[in-house]
Structure 1
Amino acid sequence: MTISVFIDGAAGTTGLEIRERLEGRSDLTVVTLPDALRKDAGARRDALNSADAVVLCLPDDAAREAVALIENPAVRVVDASTAHRVAPDWVYGFAEMEPGQREKIAQSTRISNPGCYPTGFLALVRPLVRAGIIPADWPMTVNAVSGYSGGGKAMIAAFENSDAPDATDTAFHIYGLGLAHKHVPEMQGHGGLVHPPIFAPAVTRTYRGMIVEVPLQLRAMPKAPSLAAIRDALSAAYADSKLVSVEHTDDVGQLSIERIAGTDRVELFAFGNEATGQARLVALLDNLGKGAAGAAVQNLNIATGLDELAGLKL
């Protein structure tokens, strides 16, 4: 028996990436609607309720509307939008984040796919908060840069098409200057933090890839943790993971945003200076991979009882 999967929003950037990862698999069948019916409410309702699993690649309001159309209690939903990432009745789809999280995903019919930036931030911070190395009320800062595909079709056009309405020739720009980015509640809530972190996102002129960095003044922290303690805690948290790895090295002179672009993995680094008591925690991932489509496929696999790594790019 194969699993039927309907991707609502399959024509978008994330939807296309998901389709690519599902192509050629014999353990599932992708349900599609003709272009003329993609926005037909009746056809969508039927597809949403007849599939074994649904992946939503829609704007937030449209994702909420799609969920409201689902009346079949057996349908498993993976929502790639921001709409349900801090909703209490949805399971957060970051299998590696907490002990038992994978089991929660497997037992749920409502799974929220993590955001790309929060994936890197939480991969670094959550194990350290859980271990008591970072106090839950510590003032956190996260600096991050993404490839422009993270902005969807409009931003892709702006960077690639000189005739686009918002065309740009910039190499790098920062945004989220009002410190109210929609990823912040997700970072705070799932990070177990008392206060929202200062989030400083940026976009650079490369199609895909992401660097997420958390600087820490170790000497100012209550336990003045060592770099070794941080690395040990991260290594213990991801010891059994095939997708999240902790790189133990001090001889890296630089890290490129493209280092693991095109994969569905996350690489974590903890750099520091023992003399100054400072550290730079760094996560590398693909904003379209583990930051979006790769995570959605992983969650789909877990939720439907299939091989967790099937279709993923390692």
Structure 2
Amino acid sequence: MTSPIARARIFIDGEAGTTGLGIRERLTSLPVELLSIDPAARKDPSARRAMMAQADLVVLCLPDAASREAAAMADEMGSTRPRLLDASTAFRVASDWVYGFAEMTPGQADLIATAPNVSNPGCYPTGAIALLRPLIEAGVMDTDHAVSINAVSGYSGGGRTMIEAHEHHGGPAFELYGLGLEHKHVPEIELHARLSRRPLFVPSVGHFRQGMIVSIPLHLADLRGTVRAGDLLDTLRRRYDGSPTVSVAPADAALVAETLAGQDTMELRVHGNDEHRQAVLTARLDNLGKGASGAALQNIRLMLGL
């Protein structure tokens, strides 16, 4: 764990976006100094570089291409460069960046605490990886298992255009998307869940602002050995025992996606029927909380030793 930095200085590059605003709001709970750029200069490379030079930690809340440019700008600063936490998709499968899902595997939080560059996880991958990786590491599921992932998110995850469409014009009640099967979160899920076979991922959006459910159906006979639903539950409980942010909850007959809106925690469940040899794994979280800004705050605390 890093030693705490006295009144660390943080610059959010892209603080006007949904994730940036969420991080800024959460930072009020930490003993840090927030550096803000003049809005008129937020696209000025020299002004942004000057802000970076003053910061201990820079949080990138930018589109992928802009995040890559910002990271290159930081690298040009050499030994005086700040540490980076990137909220885009740009570096989530990069080998020289540490993946910022602290609960993913034992020791991950320590890697985040000392890393110069950390990539904040995606919202859908946070739920999927939390469910899958413990099963693979425990030897319950083969890495080449044919995984199908279904997920629904609140419309706030779709950015400004989707938010405006839903809040001002009344968006659709439910919409499947990503049906070209090229969603940008798939490589992230495949790598960090330790799958060797590309998962089938079907995301959707509901007409509610915040919240998310990720669900993974399983045929128990396709898993290793004679596995019962309780074995899956025990595996998840062992992995997340004592975690303040990830809990393993009892199965329920129905789940509402918005329940954790505004919270930075995640609930995992195993809904099983041993007679039919079937189970459904679910993860419920706030797409803007544990799925975005809440995860960023957790990583900031680790990186600054708070």
Give the TM interval when normalised to the shorter protein.
over 0.9
Amino acid paired to 2:35: V
Instruction: Determine the structure 2 residue equivalent to 1:173.
Output: 175
Instruction: Determine the structure 1 residue equivalent to 2:280.
Output: 280
Gap regions ≥5 residues in structure 2: 1-5
CA-to-partner distance for each residue in 1:106-158, whole Å, 9 max, x for gaps?
Answer: 11010000000000000101111100111111000000000000011111011
CA-to-partner distance for each residue in 1:8-56, whole Å, 9 max, x for gaps?
Answer: 000000000001101253x101000111111111110111222000111
**How do 1:118-137 residues align onto structure 2 when only pairs under 5 Å count?**
118-137=125-144
Q: State which of 130, 135, 142 in structure 1 corresponds to 2:149.
A: 142
Amino acid paired to 2:272: G
Distance 1:174 1:267 in 2: 23
Distance 1:281 1:300 in 2: 29
Using the size of structure 2 for normalisation, the TM-score is 0.95
8 A Cα contact 1:227 1:274, kept in partner: yes
8 A Cα contact 1:49 1:72, kept in partner: no
Instruction: Determine the structure 2 residue equivalent to 1:48.
Output: 52
Distance 1:161 1:258 in 2: 20
CA-to-partner distance for each residue in 1:224-249, whole Å, 9 max, x for gaps?
Answer: 311111111100100121000001x2
Runs (4+) of structure 1 moved beyond 3 Å?
none
**How do 1:121-270 residues align onto structure 2 when only pairs under 5 Å count?**
121-162=128-169, 169-247=171-249, 249-250=250-251, 252-270=252-270
What SS does the corresponding residue of 1:258 show, helix, strand or coil? helix
Using the size of structure 1 for normalisation, the TM-score is 0.93
Distance 2:114 2:27 in 1: 22
Amino acid paired to 1:257: A
Cα-Cα RMSD: 1.1
Instruction: Determine the structure 2 residue equivalent to 1:294.
Output: 294
Amino acid paired to 2:242: D
- 1:57 matches 2:64: no
Instruction: Determine the structure 1 residue equivalent to 2:9.
Output: 4
- 1:82 matches 2:89: yes
Q: State which of 92, 106, 117 in structure 2 corresponds to 1:110.
A: 117
Q: State which of 27, 31, 36 in structure 1 corresponds to 2:35.
A: 31
CA-to-partner distance for each residue in 1:77-104, whole Å, 9 max, x for gaps?
Answer: 1100000000000000000001110010
Q: Please state how far the C-alpha of 1:161 moved relative to its aligned partner.
A: 1.7
Instruction: Determine the structure 1 residue equivalent to 2:3.
Output: none
Q: Which has the higher helix share?
A: 2
Distance 1:63 1:263 in 2: 27
Structure 1 residues 130 and 37 mapped into 2: Cα distance closer, same or farther (>3 Å)? same
Instruction: Determine the structure 2 residue equivalent to 1:310.
Output: none
Q: Taking every aligned residue pair, what percent have the same amino acid on both sides?
A: 51
8 A Cα contact 2:139 2:224, kept in partner: no
What SS does the corresponding residue of 2:259 show, helix, strand or coil? coil
Distance 1:286 1:222 in 2: 32
Gap regions ≥5 residues in structure 1: 163-167, 307-314
Amino acid paired to 1:23: T
Structure 1 residues 191 and 60 mapped into 2: Cα distance closer, same or farther (>3 Å)? same
Q: Please state how far the C-alpha of 1:254 moved relative to its aligned partner.
A: 1.0
Total equivalences in the alignment: 298
Moved more, 31-40 or 266-275: 31-40
Q: Please state how far the C-alpha of 1:175 moved relative to its aligned partner.
A: 0.5
Distance 1:224 1:139 in 2: 18
Distance 1:24 1:201 in 2: 33
Distance 1:48 1:201 in 2: 36
Distance 1:129 1:122 in 2: 10
Instruction: Determine the structure 2 residue equivalent to 1:309.
Output: none
